[in-house]
Structure 1
Amino acid sequence: MSRLSSQTLADLPADVIRPAYDRAAVTCGVVHLGIGAFHRAHQAVVFDDALNAGDLRWGIIAASLRSPSVRDQMTPQDGLYTMLVRDGAAEQARLIGAVQQVIVAPEEPQALLAALASPDTHIVTLTVTEKGYKLDPATGALIESDPQLAADLASLESPQTAPGYLVAALALRRAAGLPPFTAISCDNLPHNGSRLRAAVIALARRHDPALADWIEEEGAFPETMVDRIVPATTADDIVALTRRIGVEDQAMVKTEPFIQWVIEDKFCGPRPDFGAGVQVTAAVAPWEEAKLRLLNGAHSGIAYLGGLAGIDYVHEVLALPEARHFVESLWDEAETTLSPPAELDVAAYRRELMARFDNPTLRHRTRQIAMDGSQKLPQRLLATIAAGLEAGQGIDALALAVAAWVRWQAGQDDLGQAHQVDDPLAGRIGDVLASAASPGSRIAAILAFDAVVPPELARNPLLADALTRWLTVLETQGARGALAAFRQ
């Protein structure tokens, strides 16, 4: 079977939407760190829209900081890939042509540095997941004990981390008399722009205080909020698309119609004339808070409870009436902690979220969402709990979600099936829990784990009591039993 490529475009069915621009005339004004499915279904689409509108400065040089798999998928296809937008029975296929090159950073660190330091580069975007910033999730400080970060603290000749690449490239730009680029974190970190800025400046200051001062004065690190559900592509998805379009596309992505990108109006150079789905605003925090505490918080609760119950997909979890009741209750608790922007109708947003969760064609796996929980819980659930307790509000649904995460660490679901706890702190958390003999002692051990739980929150007896109660139910009655008990 032929692969999707520039040479096979003419063979595609007429209903496949193609780039409306000459890809050979594109200049790469964007470097993206961490190319994965989410970037290909979100930021790359936004820059593709700008190219389609006639501004040819916004091609993308993308980089993987670890695996060559995406490079190996995309390079034989000339960077082209199909985005399938699924909504019930409706499906739209669109070719995205914005990605011009994919670099595997460990293989070609100097090529990535050259791209970042190029005069053509105006924007650097990042989707490296929460753990890719090498920041303590509780404090926001650099994790200096991390081996890769320790290497970058010693030398930036061949960086190993996202902050390391940014600092090394900014040093090259300053030496060449170029302005800095605008660095935009697109990961679900609270105050992601401020955190990225702090990480970059802290690392720069360890190498060159004058460079750090220049970055502080001249650089730009906007806060952002990104939202689109992008399930992992399966082998069956690739086979089905091959049947539909007549060529094989190993880099395809599937997603929903909804797309949102809220960006703080803080750039230090050119930017596209952003189109639909992008909102440039003076204040991102209220949007970010609503998304983290409603969409992401519910997603984590669904993932751990559904995963423990042996349920594969989000929409299947929500087919249970008791699970829908749990999600609505979690939203009731979270909503009281929000300061939503005037433009956000929270009731309408909740209805829209439930409809998105219910979309059966997305087939969003609970185990995909369950990854990296130690990095996600502080902003998705624990911050909401802290705000609720401070306001004297209930936290029962939020506590059930956190207790389900604790239960997930055992590595076995309620059906006795083993699962991998895919988390950078899995070993340390497993050691902590292994020595605890009861639900109460396991919760006490987790609350003492300050890499995840802020000490002030950990000292609150209301949280300890709620978590112990729900972990006891989860261990004796399973996730389905806990959901049923919650509904009573």
Structure 2
Amino acid sequence: MLPLNTSTLASFGPTVTRPIYDRSRLRAGIVHFGVGNFHRVHQAIAIDACLHHPGHEDWAICGVGLTDGAAARTKADAYRRQDNLYTVTQLTSSMPKQTQVVGAMIDYLHAPADPEAVLARLADSATRIVSLTITEGGYNIDEASGAFRLDTPDIRHDLAGGPPRTVFGYIVAALARRRQAGLPPFTVMSCDNLPRNGDTSRLAVIGFARALDPGLADWIEANGAFPNSMVDRIAPQVPEDERRRITTGIGVDDFVAATCEPYTSWVVEDRFCAGRPQLELAGVVFSDEVPAYVAVKGRLSNAAHMLMCYPSLLMGARLVDEGMRYPDIPRLLHAFWERDVRRLVEPPAGYSTKDFTDKVIERFANPAIKDQLLRVAGDGASKIVVFHGKTIGQLLAGGGELDREAFLLACFARYLGGVDDQGVAFEIFEPRIGTADWQRLKGGDPLAVLDIEAFASLGLRRSSAFVAAYLKSLGALAEQGAAATLLQLLRSRH
């Protein structure tokens, strides 16, 4: 296999699409925090498409990694050796694989190794957009009050001065430098799966800035921009054996290879304070109805992902398409859409939610993606609130059926035990569940999951109807397992 770097690009075969623009002429106008798989197969590909058009030479990407440790340093080294190039392979069940080399990222900074380099890049006049994929739970918003949390150790550290540790510490410190230098602020563009992700970014940035310097916060509010957006594409983790299989097949030795499904969607509000690339050239939709697109995607697609992943894991599946092969899992999703949530979601004008959910079934069932259920399930304490919280609230307020939402929470409680119904252990990832919550969960109270801090805003304990439905599902899961409990749930009618 050929190594992947600038000097080998011309040597790849016809099955690999290469960038044909001159990367030596590019300048980074975008700094992106969180260069994970999703960013690399979504926003970066859209920017890559723009770079093929004249006049976009100033819109390349500088990636920033915030986490430390061996894996983070290995990734930074791989980008350096590969001249920040990487491959993206689209995986489908009905078409040959399609691979492209993405050249949109021209620099990558590992923040713990050189925080000043990150601050300097952010403060540079060339930087006009700072984009984020820091996960749904990464915005440090208190669910109960809706305010930015100032009491976490890393935020307290950043407010005290010194090299930042958090994305908000970096952004606000750089904005302070720009203000002092007479430069305008950059646009902060969230690309995370959050309702009103731009408004959430604004809340976090200005909340941090106000604690540091009220005058700076006022300047950001008056001059900055935080567009809301909707992003959608499945980007599975790429285990080492899968990376080797894919790179061997394409003949390119890429140490940070990414994969994705063919489907992609990006809808953005056209609110940028320092200019933007012509993203329409990459199929990006600019719309004033972003919240409606977000509601459809989050409450119908992301919510369905969360609903199917926990029972599928408990039944023994480890990949999303394996879970979809249990006939009762698609039935569960259809019941959720038709009986619980579709009537509660107002789509954009002329938009068919039925067509959308039919596509969701097809996407989830694609066996070529090999999307890991544990990836979907991870950080469920945050994701369940984001994607199911509003639906649960509306069902509680309107006297709707609670069985499927209660089943979700009961399956989540069983998932936290880290063992499926066959006794096979799996690793869980729940960074938002703190020590006090874990002590509560291990205390023997069957309702403990409803009381964890992340779920406080849902008020589940206060609903006797929800508690009854939850205990019914939890008892059935313990007694007969997820498969039988799900079948029983689907047979019930209210």
Distance 2:432 2:411 in 1: 17
**1:187 counterpart = 2:195:** no
1:93–1:377 CA distance, 2 compared to 1 (3 A): same
Q: Secondary structure at the match of 2:130?
A: strand
**1:331 counterpart = 2:337:** yes
Please point out which of 437, 447, 450 is paired with 2:450.
Answer: 447
Q: Contact 1:296/1:380 (CA < 8 Å) preserved in 2? A: yes
**1:118 counterpart = 2:124:** yes
Which residue pairs with 1:429 in the alignment?
437
Distance 2:430 2:77 in 1: 25
Q: Which segments of 5 or more consecutive residues in structure 1 lack a partner in the other structure?
A: none
**1:302 counterpart = 2:305:** no
**1:390 counterpart = 2:391:** no
Q: Contact 1:259/1:277 (CA < 8 Å) preserved in 2? A: no
Distance 2:415 2:226 in 1: 35
Matches within 5 A, 1:397-436: 397-426=404-433, 427-436=435-444
Q: Contact 1:386/1:457 (CA < 8 Å) preserved in 2? A: no
Can you list the C-alpha shifts for 1:350-407, whole angstroms capped at 9, x where unaligned?
1111111111100111111111111111111122111222233223222211221111
Distance 2:108 2:405 in 1: 40
Segment drifting more, 411-420 vs 13-22 = 411-420
Q: Contact 1:11/1:246 (CA < 8 Å) preserved in 2? A: no
Which residue pairs with 2:255 in the alignment?
250
Report the alpha carbon displacement of residue 29 of structure 1 after superposing the two structures with TM: 0.6
**1:56 counterpart = 2:37:** no
Which residue pairs with 1:41 in the alignment?
41
Distance 2:305 2:42 in 1: 19
Distance 1:391 1:372 in 2: 28
What is the one-letter code of the residue matched to 2:278?
D
The number of residue pairs the alignment matches comes to: 482
Matches within 5 A, 1:327-406: 327-332=333-338, 333-406=340-413
Report the alpha carbon displacement of residue 129 of structure 1 after superposing the two structures with TM: 1.0
Can you list the C-alpha shifts for 1:116-170, whole angstroms capped at 9, x where unaligned?
1111111111011123222224443233332111111222x31111111111111
Distance 2:420 2:437 in 1: 17
What is the one-letter code of the residue matched to 1:256?
E
Distance 1:240 1:346 in 2: 37
TM-score (norm 1): 0.95
Report the alpha carbon displacement of residue 266 of structure 1 after superposing the two structures with TM: 1.3
Matches within 5 A, 1:106-255: 106-155=112-161, 157-255=162-260
Distance 2:246 2:327 in 1: 34
What is the one-letter code of the residue matched to 1:247?
V
1:343–1:28 CA distance, 2 compared to 1 (3 A): farther
1:99–1:455 CA distance, 2 compared to 1 (3 A): closer
Report the alpha carbon displacement of residue 456 of structure 1 after superposing the two structures with TM: 4.0
Q: Contact 2:385/2:454 (CA < 8 Å) preserved in 1? A: no
**1:473 counterpart = 2:481:** no
Distance 1:374 1:145 in 2: 20
Can you list the C-alpha shifts for 1:411-433, whole angstroms capped at 9, x where unaligned?
22211122222111344432112
What is the one-letter code of the residue matched to 2:47?
F
Q: Contact 1:64/1:70 (CA < 8 Å) preserved in 2? A: no
Q: Contact 2:389/2:458 (CA < 8 Å) preserved in 1? A: no
What is the one-letter code of the residue matched to 2:303?
G
1:399–1:221 CA distance, 2 compared to 1 (3 A): same
Report the alpha carbon displacement of residue 47 of structure 1 after superposing the two structures with TM: 0.6
Report the alpha carbon displacement of residue 82 of structure 1 after superposing the two structures with TM: 0.8
Q: Secondary structure at the match of 2:91?
A: strand
Q: Secondary structure at the match of 1:32?
A: strand
Report the alpha carbon displacement of residue 18 of structure 1 after superposing the two structures with TM: 0.8
Distance 1:256 1:306 in 2: 21
Report the alpha carbon displacement of residue 68 of structure 1 after superposing the two structures with TM: 2.5
Q: Secondary structure at the match of 2:474?
A: helix
Distance 1:69 1:369 in 2: 24
What is the one-letter code of the residue matched to 1:63?
V
**1:292 counterpart = 2:275:** no
Which residue pairs with 1:263 in the alignment?
268
Please point out which of 76, 83, 86 is paired with 1:71.
Answer: 76
Q: Secondary structure at the match of 1:100?
A: strand
Distance 1:178 1:481 in 2: 62
What is the one-letter code of the residue matched to 2:167?
A
Please point out which of 325, 340, 365 is paired with 1:319.
Answer: 325
Following TM superposition, where does structure 1 have runs of at least 4 consecutive aligned residues deviating by more than 6 angstroms? none
What is the one-letter code of the residue matched to 2:407?
L
Please point out which of 450, 460, 464 is paired with 1:461.
Answer: 464
Distance 1:227 1:277 in 2: 13
Distance 1:418 1:482 in 2: 20
Which residue pairs with 1:25 in the alignment?
25
1:113–1:434 CA distance, 2 compared to 1 (3 A): same
Q: Contact 1:297/1:381 (CA < 8 Å) preserved in 2? A: yes
Report the alpha carbon displacement of residue 455 of structure 1 after superposing the two structures with TM: 5.4
Distance 2:391 2:278 in 1: 35
What is the one-letter code of the residue matched to 2:64?
A
Which residue pairs with 1:13 in the alignment?
13
